[in-house]
Amino acid sequence: MTPTVLVLLGLASVAAILALIIKAKAHPFLALLIVSIALALVAGIPLQDIVPSLVDGMGATLGSVALIVTLGAMLGRIIEVSGGADVLANTLLRRFGPDRAPWALGAAAFIFGVPVFVDVALIVLMPIILSVGRRLQGNMLNYALPTVMGLLTVHVVLPPHPGIVGGAEIMGADVGMVLLLGIVPALLMWLSSQLIVPLVTRRVFSPVPALSTEAQKMMEEDSGQSGQASPSSEKAPSAGLVILMIIIPLVLIMGQTITLMTLPSDSLAVRIFGFIGASPMALLIGVVIATFVLGFRRGWGASHAEEVINSSLPPVAAVAESLIVV
């Protein structure tokens, strides 16, 4: 490809970035990432070299970790704002039943915690924990501990959380292999923590916090207005759809690892999954799909989608800052 063509492609890329940011209200990070990938494809860069080039452009550890953590936070925020966490927890409660509410909350936390930072996930799930506790009464620790343990398990053991991703990069481990092998110990750790909860709650009792007078009045007014569901509940996604949005990037990442282990290195499947199954690319695909499926198809405008994605970045900034310091 001649230098003139490359210059023209560069100018077209700048125009495409501006159009995505100004007209389509896309987040600048996503606009730069998508256009960079498109430019690499048009310029003829081999599929297996595109993601490494993106990482090198951001700089070694910062590039690899920041891309994964940022995109994972965006995916989690989209699921959170769409009401996916609430739907997931309520569905599991119905399936498990009141007697197994701690297991339902723990399972919801384990699933929802995969793409979401533990602090954000706990804030999102806290109203659900309180709602379940007030409905069933008893020891509040029965509902709080399983949720916290489920979130902490995936936060420590599974990508795309920053600790395990940073450790994998420092040790030169494949993130897909870490994810594939980490599922088993993560499940065992979660199951063990669930079995330990009753031992703790037998010795320590914490009453369920009561509603304040003002909150009680608001609930009574809301329930007396109409028997129809609120607009937000009508638009809430199904639990199956929420789980699908979470597992799409995970399946792509594991697909890359499995094809590399089972197929010849020069096969088409290895090249394709080497591109779409690279952790940053898989999460980018997940973010784009979730934006359309959980966002635009449920009534979000471009400006609202931009605000939701933008609001996911403050927790990521702290991680990036610590990497820069290191």
Would you call 207 helix, strand, or coil by DSSP?
Answer: strand
Report residue 215's pLDDT band, with 50, 70 and 90 as the boundaries. very low
pTM here?
Answer: 0.64
pLDDT by residue (tens digit) across 161-201?
777 887 887 788 887 788 888 889 999 999 998 999 889 88
* Mean per-residue pLDDT, 215-229: 44
Cα–Cα distances (Å) from 157 to 23, 24, 64, 174, in that order, read 40, 37, 18, 14
User: In this predicted model, which residue has the larger pLDDT, 61 or 264?
Assistant: 264
At residue 307, does pLDDT exceed 80?
yes
User: In this predicted model, which residue has the larger pLDDT, 126 or 103?
Assistant: 103
Contact by Cβ (8 Å): 80, 124:
yes
At residue 160, does pLDDT exceed 50?
yes
Distance CA 150, CA 112 (A): 9
Distance CA 144, CA 160 (A): 24
Report residue 219's pLDDT band, with 50, 70 and 90 as the boundaries. very low
User: What's the pLDDT at 222?
Assistant: 42
Most confident of 87-91, 234-238, 298-302: 298-302
Alpha helices in the chain, H assignment, sequence order: 3-22, 28-42, 47-58, 60-81, 84-96, 101-112, 118-136, 141-157, 162-171, 175-201, 213-225, 231-234, 239-262, 268-276, 279-290, 302-310, 313-325
> What is the token pair recorded at 289?
């799909």
User: What's the pLDDT at 289?
Assistant: 92
User: What's the pLDDT at 281?
Assistant: 86
User: What's the pLDDT at 123?
Assistant: 61
Distance CA 69, CA 323 (A): 12
User: What's the pLDDT at 211?
Assistant: 54
